[in-house]
Amino acid sequence: MCLWLTSEKDGGSDTCKTLDIDFFFFHITTVFCHFSSRKSNLFVALGHGARRLHLSAAYRAKAKVSMSRFEPTSFVNYERLQSNVEIVRKRLNRPLTLSEKIVYGHLDDAHNQEIERGRTYLRLRPDRVAMQDATAQMAMLQFISSGLPKVAVPSTIHCDHLIEAQIGGAQDLARAKEINQEVYNFLSSAGAKYGVGFWKPGSGIIHQIILENYAYPGVMLIGTDSHTPNGGGLGAICIGVGGADAVDVMAGIPWELKCPKVIGVRLTGTLSGWTSPKDVILKVAGILTVKGGTGAIVEYHGPGVDSISCTGMATICNMGAEIGATTSVFPYNHRMRTYLEKTGRGQIAALADEYSDLLVPDEGCKYDQIIELNLDELKPHINGPFTPDLAHPVSKIGAMAEKNSWPLDVKVGLIGSCTNSSYEDMGRAASVAKQALDKGLKCKAQFTVTPGSEQIRATIERDGYVSVILSAVGGVVLANACGPCIGQWDRRDVKKGEKNTIVTSFNRNFTARNDANPATHAFVTSPEIVTALAIAGTLNFNPETDYLTAPNGEKFKLVPPSGDELPARDFDPGQDTYQHPPADGSSLNVEVNPQSNRLQLLEPFDKWSGSDLENMVVLIKVKGKCTTDHISAAGPWLKFRGHLDNISNNMLIGAVNSENDAVNKIKNHLTGEYGGVPDVARHYKASGVSWVVVGDDNYGEGSSREHAALEPRHLGGRVIIVKSFARIHETNLKKQGLLPLTFSNPSDYDKIRPDDKISIRGLKTFTPGKPLTAVVKHSDGSEETLQLNHSFNETQIQWFQAGSALNRMKQLQH
Ligand code: SF4
């Protein structure tokens, strides 16, 4: 254990200094009470003016460092991590990867838990929970339904998803506060009552706030957002989950995760020139595709790691969600230490130094798959359109676009989002913009800048990146929020259906995600390449080789970008946008207006009848890609995230009907007429007819949107049968009492016809590992029997039988 005093030299902020000193005295008192004979050693250390005061390992058990400056009584618990790791290492008798150490280090029962990568389900005790405002509404509504008085682990709510980009940061934020007042009031009051920290609108994007304040090496955090893995850049295991999982953890119930496989990405060489951390993940996405990481943690290692900044590592982990990975993580190193110190967490860095063996992979550990990447050879990439794994070197994108008739003109360049909004990102983008400005050039395309947090906004403003460079080159600075990344964009420069190209530094580019226009071709790349392309105004521009023309006719090349990893001075925290919950919020009220359009208290789902499910109609047989965006669209629908009945009007409206290749046009088999998917589902429900959805591969990939599971259940769905599921969505369906099943033989998908009736048999003996049977009756009278697999374990079968995980939670309380 090492305790140390932060000084100016250490780069700690004033606040941090005060905290350090407070804690220092706390430790001194503790240490003196228990180890008075060692007093003199401590004074010797002080007397020599030591910058760090190292105490012997004997003190380790007594020293405590808080998990964050907001939670002074919740402590970093490396002892438990270490003790669990030792137990598991002994049991498995082999070296462990880093992610294994952190995951197994959080086991509920390290002695008895069955551990086999890719097969067993682990019962885990995450350290904390984070929720963004769109998903927090339903999570908090569910937590309220559980009847518990207070959350069991430190938890936070972040208001970032509901702010629409229209004019610019301040005006858009003011408008969002007005429009979403009811939701913000609900989240703020529910947070205060149940002990959850509340980050007000304007604070920044959840993952940036977590990186700045809550993530640290070895912590396990779950977040109700699929880009939660961003925290892996600080050596944390951060996993995106549905709200129902968050409710489990907040209720103090062990959280279940299928024991992840581990994909190792070995980095050699050094990043340089135009190549950035984003290119690492764009390249990996091209190799692994959107399904390649499913069920696995991607663990980066090797000598190349040290050439990447901490926030750059976060970028790489963030976009691990695009390959379906459970999460991604980097080993603890000096880049993380510097970042922790700069964000006022020098004490955690010092503690992590002491436990550094625990925070890196064991020598000789084995990965399920290894990818080798030489950063010296890596070139800048740009991926898209319509999928983040369609990787192209920037040097080839112009030709590819011409070949495929993708519009070459770049209409808008957008930098920011949780993926790429660090100080370094903004600095590198600004260094490109400055070169253009110096030659009298501005962006040909529209250009928007989304700072990741209030702290980043205030700091880049102070350091001249914003007004002097990014705004001057034509950029509009948006609110510290998700904005266009989640479709909160009042875009007016093109009409719906007009083919056009945008380039972003975001992570996702699925059809219509950013602007609800299915004809928008969105490409993802690094902020510096976005900036260069926005200046050039065309995809057919490679800043490594091509020339720009200044207004005076001078031809010039951009030199590779540069940017400080962290500000030379301390971060400017900007406005204080955090609301800490009171010590006792039990007397507070959380009000939900029964007339509200935005919020609705939850009614419990009906429990399983005890019989097989007979003669269900096929609501829709989905063709091709069906992400959670297709199942429960975002954009304008985000405002109904707290109102299950209203948001259910978006159910599957983006999915393609295999019968007619149309979206939101399916046959109502009771009336023979065609209608929208939610309308037909409501009609079936009102008529007492249960229904099934049939889908293709990787059904439910994308955001961890539990509404995509709640809506089908609310509208009378019972079973989702597909070729394969994305992990989070599959679990979300189980939590809501639905049956997610997969064809044992994927080609059986072709046997299902739109007018079939499907019965699921075998539910009375529903057991882990034992397939169920579908009896499919065709309208011509013929019948076939198909085998369906499932991944339910004992607990999850109890959820199904109780009607939902929440119902089961209530049963257990009584
Ligand atoms: S991916 Fe986009 S929408 Fe999701 S948290 Fe990040 S910025 Fe927000």
Provide CB contacts within 8 A for 450, sequence distance 6+: 165, 205, 414, 415, 416, 417, 421, 477, 478, 479, 480, 481, 482, 483, 484, 485
For residue 418, the CA-to-ligand 1 centroid distance in Å is: 6
Q: How far apart are CA 301 and CA 247, in angstroms?
A: 33
Distance 294 CA to ligand 1 centre (A): 20
- Does ligand 1 have an atom closer than 6 angstroms to the CB of 158? no
d(CA 205, CA 199): 10
- Residues with a catalytic annotation lie at 160-161, 225, 508, 703, 705
Q: Which pLDDT score, from 0 to 100, does residue 512 have?
A: 86
Both 631 and 744 in a single domain?
A: yes
- Same domain membership, residue 789 and residue 645: yes
The mean-pLDDT minimum among 13-27, 91-105, 178-192, 463-477 falls in: 13-27
Q: Is residue 31 part of a domain?
A: yes
Q: How far is CA 697 from CA 241, 390, 444, 624, 701, in A?
A: 20, 18, 40, 7, 9
Q: Check pLDDT > 50 for residue 301.
A: yes
CA-nearest of 738, 637, 641, 749 to 694 is: 749
Compute the C-alpha angle 75/27/234, nearest 5°: 35
> Quick one: tokens of 334?
């000096």
Query: Is residue 104 a contact partner of residue 93, using CB atoms and an 8 Å limit?
Result: no
Reported as a single tens digit per residue, the pLDDT across 640-651 is 989 999 999 999
Within this chain, do residues 620 and 765 fall inside the same structural domain, yes or no?
yes
Q: 547 and 403 in one domain?
A: yes
Site to probe by mutation for ligand 1, drawn from 225, 278, 478 as the one with most ligand atoms within 8 Å of Cβ, is: 225
Smallest CA separation from ligand 1 atom 3, residue? 486
pLDDT band at 13 (very low <50, low <70, confident <90, very high): very low
Span from the CA of 125 to the centroid of ligand 1 (angstroms):
26
What's the whole-number average pLDDT of the chain? 90
Task: Note whether residue 330 is domain-resident.
Answer: no
The gap from C-alpha 322 to its chain's centroid, in whole angstroms, comes to 10
- Average pLDDT rounded to a whole number, residues 42-69: 50
Domain assignment present for residue 651? The answer is yes
Q: pLDDT grade, residue 24 (50/70/90)?
A: very low
641 with 779, same domain: the answer is yes
Report whether pLDDT(40) > 80. no
What per-residue confidence (pLDDT) applies to 439? Answer: 97
Residue 54 confidence (pLDDT) above 80: no
Give residue 702's pLDDT: 77
Query: What is the torsional sign of CA 747, 751, 756, 761?
Result: negative
Query: Rounded to the nearest whole angstrom, what is the distance from the C-alpha of residue 316 to the centroid of ligand 1?
Result: 14
Which of 241, 420, 485 best tests ligand 1's pocket when mutated (most atoms within 8 Å of CB)?
485
417 lines ligand 1 (CB under 6 A): yes
| DSSP symbols for 434-474 | HHHHHTT---SSEEEEE-SBHHHHHHHHHTTIIIIIITTTT
Q: Which residues contact 40 (CB under 8 A, 6 or more apart)?
A: none
Burial of 372 (0-12, 13-18, 19+ CB in 10 A): exposed
Residue 726's pLDDT band (boundaries 50, 70, 90)? confident
314 lines ligand 1 (CB under 6 A): no
Ligand 1 atom nearest 226 alpha carbon: 4
Query: Rounded to whole angstroms, what are the CA distances from 611 to 614, 758, 764, 788?
Result: 9, 14, 7, 17
Q: Do 645 and 534 belong to one domain?
A: no
Q: Is the pLDDT of residue 15 over 80?
A: no
Mutate which of 205, 507, 627 for ligand 1? The one with the most ligand atoms within 8 Å of its CB, which is: 205
What confidence category does residue 50 fall into, taking pLDDT thresholds of 50, 70 and 90?
A: very low
Which residues 6+ apart lie within 8 Å of 33 measured at CB?
A: none
Q: Whose CA is nearest to atom 2 of ligand 1?
A: 485
Whether 172 maps to a domain, the answer reads no
Tell me, what amino acid is at 561?
P
Range scoring the smallest mean pLDDT among 29-43, 235-249, 605-619, 711-725: 29-43
In a domain, 753, yes or no: yes
In a domain, 9, yes or no: yes
CB burial class (10 A; 0-12, 13-18, 19+) of residue 309? buried
- CA distances (Å), origin 626, targets 67, 341, 790: 39, 43, 19
CB atoms within 10 A of CB 580: 13
Which pLDDT value is given to residue 591? Answer: 78
Residue 205 near ligand 1, beta carbon < 6 Å: yes
Of 421, 463, 528, nearest to 160 (Cα)?
Answer: 421
Residue 346 has pLDDT above 90, yes or no: yes
Distance 482 CA to ligand 1 centre (A): 5
How many angstroms does the Cα of residue 484 sit away from the middle of ligand 1? Answer: 9
pLDDT band for 21, please (50, 70, 90 cuts).
very low
Q: Give the residue carrying structure tokens 């009492």.
A: 737
Domain end residue (candidates: 511, 530, 556): 556
Do 699 and 797 share a structural domain?
yes
State in Å: Cα 23 to ligand 1 middle: 35
Residue 87 covered by a domain = no
Which residue owns the Cα nearest ligand 1 atom 8?
482
Asked if residue 27 has pLDDT above 90, the reply is no
CA torsion sign, 476 to 479 to 484 to 487?
A: negative
Say yes or no: 496 and 618 in one domain.
no
Q: Is 418 in the pocket of ligand 1 (CB under 6 A)?
A: yes
Ligand 1 centroid to Cα of residue 524, in Å, is: 13
Residue 516 has pLDDT above 90, yes or no: no
Least confident of 107-111, 616-620, 699-703: 699-703
- Ligand 1 close to Cβ of residue 225 (< 6 A): yes
634 lines ligand 1 (CB under 6 A): no
Contact, 322 vs 285, CB < 8 A? yes
Decide whether any atom of ligand 1 lies within 6 Å of the 485 Cβ: yes
Span 336-346, mean pLDDT?
A: 98
**CATH code of residue 396:** 3.30.499.10
Say how far apart CA 447 and CA 426 lie, in whole Å: 13
Residue 413: CB atoms within 10 A of its CB come to 31
Cα three-residue angle 482-485-491, rounded to 5 degrees: 105
| Shared domain check, 707 and 632 | yes
Helices (H), 302-453: 310-318, 334-342, 346-354, 394-404, 423-438
Residue 685 has pLDDT above 60, yes or no: yes
pLDDT(365) > 90: yes
Task: Give yes or no: residues 638 and 542 share one domain.
Answer: no
Ligand 1 atom at minimal distance to the Cα of residue 486: 3
pLDDT in tens, 557-589: 999 999 999 999 999 999 999 999 999 999 999
| Domain boundary residue, one of 507, 534, 556 | 556
pLDDT at 22: 32
Q: Are 629 and 703 in contact (CB under 8 A)?
A: yes
Supply the CATH number for residue 622's domain: 3.20.19.10
In this structure, the answer to whether residues 422 and 512 fall within a common structural domain is yes
Residue 528, pLDDT > 80, answer yes
Query: What's the pLDDT at 704?
Result: 63
Atom of ligand 1 nearest to the CA of 450: 7
Confidence of residue 243 (pLDDT cuts 50, 70, 90): confident
* CA–CA distances in Å: residue 309 to residues 52, 99, 278, 564: 24, 20, 12, 10
Residue whose CA is closest, atom 6 of ligand 1?
Answer: 418
Dihedral of the alpha carbons of 771, 775, 778, 779, in degrees to the nearest 10: -140
Q: What pLDDT shows up at residue 12?
A: 30
Which of 16, 31, 62 terminates a domain? The answer is 62
635 & 724 share domain: yes
Q: Is residue 501 a contact partner of residue 370, using CB atoms and an 8 Å limit?
A: no
* Backbone phi and psi for residue 772, each to the nearest 5 degrees, phi listed first: -105, 170
Tell me the residue range of the domain where 626 lies: 613-813
More confident residue, 58 or 235: 235
User: What length is written for the chain?
Assistant: 814
Where does the pLDDT of residue 26 fall: very low under 50, low under 70, confident under 90, or very high at 90 and above? very low
**Are β-strands 772-777 and 757-761 bridged in parallel, bridged antiparallel, or unpaired?**
antiparallel
Above pLDDT 70, what percent of the chain?
Answer: 92
pLDDT for 423-447, tens place per residue?
Answer: 999 999 999 999 999 999 999 999 9
Task: Indicate if ligand 1 lies below 6 Å from the C-beta of 138.
Answer: no
Cβ(245) – ligand 1 distance below 6 Å? no
**Per-residue confidence (pLDDT) for residue 290, from 0 to 100:** 83
How remote is the CA of residue 94 from the centroid of ligand 1, in Å? Answer: 38
Ligand 1 center–CA 328 separation, angstroms: 17
DSSP string, 479-543: -SS-GGGGT-B---SS-TT--EEEEESSS---TTTTTS-TTEEEEEE-HHHHHHHHHHTBSS--T
Residue 703's SS3 state is coil
Which residues lie below 8 Å from residue 343, measured CB to CB, with a gap of 6+? 212, 213, 571
- Whether 42 lines ligand 1, by a CB cut-off of 6 Å, is no
What are 482's two structure tokens?
Answer: 């998700």
Of the pLDDT bands very low, low, confident and very high (cuts 50, 70, 90), residue 35 is very low
Largest CA distance in the chain: 92
Q: Ligand 1, residue 508: give the atom nearest the CA.
A: 1
Binding site membership of 466 for ligand 1 (Cβ less than 6 Å): no
Asked if 657 contacts 675 with a C-beta cutoff of 8 angstroms, the reply is: no
- pLDDT tens readout for residues 438-483: 999 999 999 999 999 999 999 999 999 998 899 999 999 999 999 9
Number of independent structural domains in the chain? 3
* Residue scoring higher pLDDT (174 or 22): 174
On whether residue 231 sits in a domain, the answer given is no
